[in-house]
Structure 1
Amino acid sequence: MPLLTIEQKGLKFYLFSYDPREIIKLISIVDNDKTQKYQRPWKESRVKEIATYLSGKRNLDFSKSREAKKAKGILPNCPILNVKDDSKIIHENGQSYVLLPETDEEISTAKGEWEILDGQHRLISFNDEYAKKAGFNDHVYTMGYVLFNNLSFQEKKEIFIVANVKQEKVERNILRFLMRYLGILSDTEIETDLLVQTLNDSKDSPLAGRISVEGEKIPHGFKLIQVSKIFQNSNTMSTLGSRSIDVKKLALFTYLKAWSEVYKDKFNNPQHTLGKISGLRYIMYLFPFISEILEKNKLVADVKNLSKILAVLKKDILPESFFALDNDEHLLFRAETSTIALARKHGQLLKDTYVKSTEHFDPYIQKEANDN
């Protein structure tokens, strides 16, 4: 196999391409989760995740959305290898070659002479155990490799550190922006992001200027990806359903404005729990419960009616004393799961306070009609 030679500070290393299903046969794979000298322990869950991606059964944005586009399964980055045996690389007429084993006997002999310095999860996913199960083993697939020869232990450690510690990942909020620009996101994700962006950009929004939309730094701010996730996971988006984007925008603006009026100087205050991401999470997980209260009691979703409901919450369920330092209950806001559980508990308590009607009523359509 011909090699492309690279030289840096007297050290020569090489580039070549080959089938990863053949390369992984040359590696002595240690047990998963086992500590290695110059590698992190590999995780079987991560290997299976990559194998699923390679098979084309994974969403392009790695979400679980049914609407998302499926990935093709391409790995454009190169694993880094080291071959211990000097005789495996030969030099003839100004060209370098690596001798790759072909027969089962040659592969068995060479096993252990090859090491993965970086990219073990990617390569292990091509092992028969995972590739066949994922269903991509019959596809033509080659990858590029960076190949070192007979590195010292110190050099191996440096390569691993440079390949892993010194490489800065793209910040998730910036990545979300790029996914949106490239058309990778589902229609629901695009609409949710648009609503979050509108909450940030509109001057009359209670959250104006507090949301980082494209990765910009906002002191004490929220990230678009955080808020979008909360809107979706809290069933806020499914509660608003197929209503127009304008109705959804108005519903969210009105709902948050009611919070700012009932919990004055607390909501949207970065120094208070209700002004932090945990507070916003609590507020939005309450949204479906309050929407049901509006519907069952045939109340239009305006600030007046919402404020009345929130006033009951403030008086009987979430008073300002709830956040006092001597009240341990406020510590429930410190973890995502306990915040969600608290919001659902309070939402049910709030629902139990109101008389329920069996007749259907849409508070948001009524609100839109009244505004027109």
Structure 2
Amino acid sequence: MELEQKGKRFFFFVADPRDIIAEVKIANKDKVQEFQRPWTEKRVKDISKYVAGKEPLKKGTSKPARGFLPTVPILNLKADGHIKIERKDGEYYLLFPENDNEKKECLGDIEILDGQHRLISFTQKYRNIDFKDSERYDMGFIAFQKLTREEKGELFIVTNERVEKVDRNVLQNMMEWLGVLSDDDRKIYNLIKKLNKEDISPLKGRIIIEGGKLVNGLKLLQVQRVLEKSKVYDMLKDFDVEKQVKVISNYLRAWEDVFDIKFNNRRKPKTLEKILGLQYVLCIYPCIYNILNNRKETLNEDNVKNIVNNIKINILDKLGSDNNAKKAFFGSDSGVTGFAKKTSDEISKYYKEMDGNTFDPLADI
């Protein structure tokens, strides 16, 4: 099929990728190329396994992929090459070599401008053993002829820089719908959906679940990462989702009351209302749980408030208006994680001293 854009003709055709890659002079792996990024062997092998149906659709799950590759590689037929496109009776034909001698002459006539990892995976060297030579596998291709250096450069840029990836939150939703999330990912996905929906949840309406824009919203995968990094999900994973929501909601409401904040605030959120603030708060959960456990107190809002109030008075209030300290602690992932550990250590020591539980059985050994 002949196409034209901006006065430039090019063609769409269907072929077996094994035939196409046989006429490409493949650059050495990891080598910088003029109009292509370096290709890596690992990615080629991953695609080869996927095409053969030996890869799960998502890592960590058992559901196999079918091996579809519907995307269209972009090729250039060299001006001085033997492979030509000819017109006959109103139809266009790509004239391919038919014997070994012709194939040797044509090697290097085709340049890959986009899709080299996909095509290299179809070489004899990298084809998965379970992908039989007899299996039919057609792909669509776009072919240009005699491109100039500038035209090749523009095609490289438009196929790499200007292509917008699918929002990962949207992708997570699609994977949940397809049933290919791991068991833990599926459970934490349902937990976050409920935290965003239930009236008791301080995070209601703040989490971006299905993509789209929400001013100062928290993304699904951000919240998932924080729940996992803080160990909160690990500590609650054996409970049903209703109890998980209740525990997390009680915990967050205690912080809201003590610091006069709202975790679902999207209008000029304060430090603790932002994602790194939420990470700080949740990273202290294991410490507060242990304090309550040692004191044989229930993890309800009032009991958590008592501990959080001591954190406020003895630790956070001491920062006062020191913006440099706040920036250091809440300006990065590592800063927040480190400050949460410091807070946990200090508040644990405070309660040990207050409760008289400072005996160390190993101190004098």
Q: In structure 2, what residue type is equivalent to 1:336?
A: D
- Are 1:80 and 1:145, in contact at CA under 8 Å, matched by a contact in 2? yes
Show the 5 A alignment for 1:142-221.
142-221=138-217
The 1:154–1:211 alpha-carbon spacing in structure 2 relative to 1, beyond 3 Å, is same
Equivalence for 1:14: 11
The TM-score normalised by the length of structure 2 is 0.81
> Please, which runs of 5 or more residues in structure 1 have no aligned partner?
357-372
Change (3 A) 1:218 1:20: same
**What is the RMSD of the two structures over their aligned residues, measured on CA atoms?**
3.1
Q: 1:69 touches 1:186 (CA, 8 Å); kept in 2?
A: no
Partner of 2:330: 333
Match of 2:64 in 1: 70
Alignment partner of 1:309 is 2:307: yes
Q: How many residues align?
A: 347
Equivalent residue number for residue 82 of structure 1: 76
Q: Which moved more, 1:78-87 or 1:5-14?
A: 5-14
Instruction: Check whether the contact 1:131–1:137 (CA below 8 A) recurs between aligned residues.
Output: yes
> What do residues 273-293 of structure 1 show as CA deviations (whole Å, max 9, x unaligned)?
212111112222332333333
2:323 partner SS: coil
Distance 2:279 2:62 in 1: 24
Q: CA deviation digits over 1:305-359, x for unaligned, max 9?
A: 11222233334444461772132x6424333244334434543554455569xxx
Q: Distance in 1 between matches of 2:115 and 2:250?
A: 49
Contact preservation (8 Å) 2:195, 2:204: yes
Provide Cα deviations, 1:205-236, integer angstroms capped at 9, x if missing partner.
Answer: 22232222222322111112221232234332
Aligned residue among 5, 22, 26 for 1:25 = 22
CA contact (8 A) 1:54 1:72 kept: yes
- Per-residue deviation, 1:256: 0.8
Conservation of the 8 A alpha-carbon contact between 1:268 and 1:274: no
Q: How many Å separate the matches in 1 of 2:161 and 2:216?
A: 27
Asked if the contact 1:46–1:121 (Cα under 8 Å) also holds between the matched residues in 2, the reply is yes
Unmatched segments (≥5 aa) in structure 2: 356-365
- Give the structure 1 partner of residue 361 of structure 2: none
Q: Secondary structure at the match of 2:152?
A: helix
* Aligned position for 1:272: 270
Task: Between 290-299 and 204-213, report the one with greater CA deviation.
Answer: 290-299
> Secondary structure of the equivalent of 1:115?
strand
Q: Residue 205 of structure 2 contacts residue 264 of structure 2 at CA under 8 Å; is this kept in 1?
A: no
User: What CA deviation, in whole Å up to 9, does each residue of 1:101-128 have, x standing for no partner?
Assistant: 3555443332221101111222233344
Residue in 1 that maps onto 2:87: 91
Structure 1 CA distance, aligned partners of 2:200 and 2:8? Answer: 61
Q: Is the 8 A contact 2:114 2:159 kept in 1?
A: yes
Whether the aligned pair in 1 keeps the contact of 2:86 and 2:94 (CA below 8 Å) is: yes
Assess if the C-alpha contact under 8 Å between 1:56 and 1:71 holds in 2. Answer: yes
Write the distance in 2 (CA, Å) between the matches of 1:54 and 1:282. 43
One-letter code aligned to 2:13: F
Q: TM-score, normalised by structure 1?
A: 0.80
What is the CA-CA distance between 1:86 and the residue it aligns to? 6.4
After the TM superposition, which of the residue ranges 77-86 and 157-166 deviates more from structure 2?
157-166
Identity of aligned residues (%): 39
Give 1:174 deviation, angstroms: 2.4
